[in-house]
Structure 1
């Protein structure tokens, strides 16, 4: 059996969206563009139908479905960032391109797709055997919009904000 590959629905801007997404983080690329072979509800012959791409090595598909659909935050894509520099870079790219900030490291892109921009260390904090430290990190995260690695670390370690 092959991998599970999320397919994202767009209305004519699948290739534009895929190009933006692959610009966000390393190990990302467009791997295939399929054009319509005949006129159909998703577009004219020769227009882009499907874009296969990877973001941080994760395969994804963007489909021009022929009509506008709304995304919901019930399903999101999560980017695990190595450090604050990467969190800031990805976050700022979303904002500069029409993104809308949400609570706890969530952000909607200009297409309405919900993303979570999360430093990898957050998973270490939350899975710590020190439940009090994990709870402090979680409580700190719940007060944030964009996640702040050092503030999360201070909370985890029980240190007050500097």
Structure 2
């Protein structure tokens, strides 16, 4: 069991969001669904929370209503092992959302993701500070990260 699990607060879109994420990430599944008691259910929105896994990482989606919204101050960083994976996740997660800069995007539910090749971290941590700086400058000019431009 994962000790720390992100809990995503949705305005009654938890089911839609979970199914969207499950369609994108391999090795993903719903672990558990809990429901509001009938007295608390509103407008056929009876699902209270869904525990789910995305590629082995556990998340909780909570239907809490309009009280809170997502912020780009918190994002999910996705390590990609090829440009093909970067391209696919970038397009699929941003569908209906907003493409940003430096590998960041906001999905159609307002959740922010950072889609990056594993080479990015290696290059940003290069022992030569000039090489690391050049990498940082290059990603500042990109939307989707492109490995061959690092």
Q: Is the structural similarity TM-score above 0.5?
A: yes
Q: Which moves more between the two structures, 44-53 or 87-96? A: 44-53
Q: Distance in 1 between matches of 2:82 and 2:16?
A: 27
- The residue correspondences of 1:32-43 to structure 2 (distance < 5 A) are 32-40=32-40, 43=42
Q: Which runs of 5+ in 2 are unaligned?
A: none
Which residue number in structure 2 is paired with residue 52 of structure 1? 51
Q: Any conservation in 2 of the 1:38–1:44 contact (CA below 8 Å)? A: no
SS in structure 1 at match of 2:24? coil
Q: Which has the larger radius of gyration?
A: 1
Name which structure has the greater RCO, CA cutoff 8 Å, separation 6+. Answer: 2
Q: Distance in 2 between matches of 1:136 and 1:62?
A: 38
Q: Which runs of 5+ in 1 are unaligned?
A: 153-162
Which residue number in structure 1 is paired with residue 10 of structure 2? 10
Q: Distance in 1 between matches of 2:43 and 2:33?
A: 15
Q: Any conservation in 1 of the 2:2–2:58 contact (CA below 8 Å)? A: no
- The root-mean-square deviation of aligned C-alpha atoms, in Å, is 1.9
SS in structure 1 at match of 2:115? strand
SS in structure 2 at match of 1:147? coil
Which residue number in structure 2 is paired with residue 156 of structure 1? none
Out of 124, 127, 146, which is 2:125 matched to? Answer: 127
TM-score normalised by L of structure 2:
0.91
Q: Distance in 2 between matches of 1:149 and 1:43?
A: 47
Cα distance, 1:68 vs. partner?
Answer: 5.1
TM-score normalised by L of structure 1:
0.84
Q: Any conservation in 1 of the 2:38–2:46 contact (CA below 8 Å)? A: no
